[in-house]
Amino acid sequence: MTITSPHLGSPSAWTDARLLFALEEVVETELNRHLKVAKDWMPHEYVPWSDGRNFPGLFEDGEAWGKEQSKVTDIGRVALVVNLLTEDNLPSYHHEIASLFGRDGAWGTWVHRWTAEEGRHGIVMRDYLLASRAVDPDALERFRMSHMSEGFESDNRHSMLHSVAYVAFQELATRISHRNTGHQSGDPVCDRMLARIATDENLHMVFYRNLLKAAFELAPDLTMQAVRDVVVDFRMPGHGIPGFERAAAQMAIGEVYNLRIHHDDVLQPVLRFLKIMEIDGLGPEGLKAQEELGVYMGGLDSEAAKFDERLAARKARMAARAAG
């Protein structure tokens, strides 16, 4: 398939508007593929409603939350709050991608479909957390108000290509974070719920990853620079959550999301699929970006190795303490 158009002019003159137009056919193809493979599911079917009971407030028989009521592990509780608060900022995410991609044609259909699917994630997670008493509901609501009151502005809102590159990695990062949270939660119900969410996130990643591949065929130098910038400066969308750095450190130690996972399970799979280091025919700026990306990934792998050593040493100390 040819995705260039005779009226678009020189590739050196690509603008967001021209790229959006040139990629519309790819978006339509990927949207149709997505709709064929995506399965509808009901959030309420994943919630243990029979575990629920009243909290204090309007109900005189309400029972205050206590940590001992939670079935999930300490690290599961931390990660669940971070993951839910990240999902909560969906209105800001929708505003950003609708502004960048538009609300018309295949782009607009995808934007609204993606938003509808993401909306389920916040619904089912909050219902699970409240019904199962997994977290302090008052603290959760205060965090939500604080986080959403700040809004969200992506580091990549200046460029359509940067935004596509970012979400290709970010959707996979979110999938991995949800899946590992489920594994570490200690609650099979939670694990099943997050596995369902992770399946959606993986399909979203595939959409953006395939779109990014098409962008490389169309504007390889610009796309390579966008990927380099996104990978080097990558931040999760929940970085503005109150206490995020402390929570991120706990999630790293708890093996929900850390440098090794980021390198091996998020960045590398997408870069391998794109065959990023094998792309040729690049101009000077594209070649520079490709080389810098390779150097960065090598450095990140070294940093991840150091983290692995520290984590192994920590586990050994804890095991020795438990044995003694």
Tell me: is residue 87 an annotated ligand-binding position: yes
DSSP three-state, residue 59: coil
Tokens of 135: 């977290």
Helix (H) or strand (E) holding 182: helix 160-185
d(Cα 32, Cα 29) in Å, to the nearest integer?
5
Q: How many CA atoms lie within 13 A of 67 on its CB side?
A: 6
Residues 200 and 121 sit within 8 Å (Cβ to Cβ): yes
Distance of alpha carbon 207 from alpha carbon 31, whole angstroms:
8
201 is known to lie in a ligand binding site: yes
The token pair at 26 is: 């790819």
- 171 marked ligand binding residue: yes
263 assigned to a ligand binding site: no
User: Does 204 count as an annotated binding residue?
Assistant: yes
Token pair of 189 as six digits: 């119900």
Phi-psi region of 102 (alpha: psi -120 to 50; beta: other; left: phi over 0): left
> d(Cα 205, Cα 208) in Å, to the nearest integer?
5
30 assigned ligand-binding residue: no
Cite the annotated binding site by residue number: 87, 118, 121, 171, 201, 204
Cite the annotated binding site for Fe cation by residue number: 87, 118, 121, 171, 201, 204
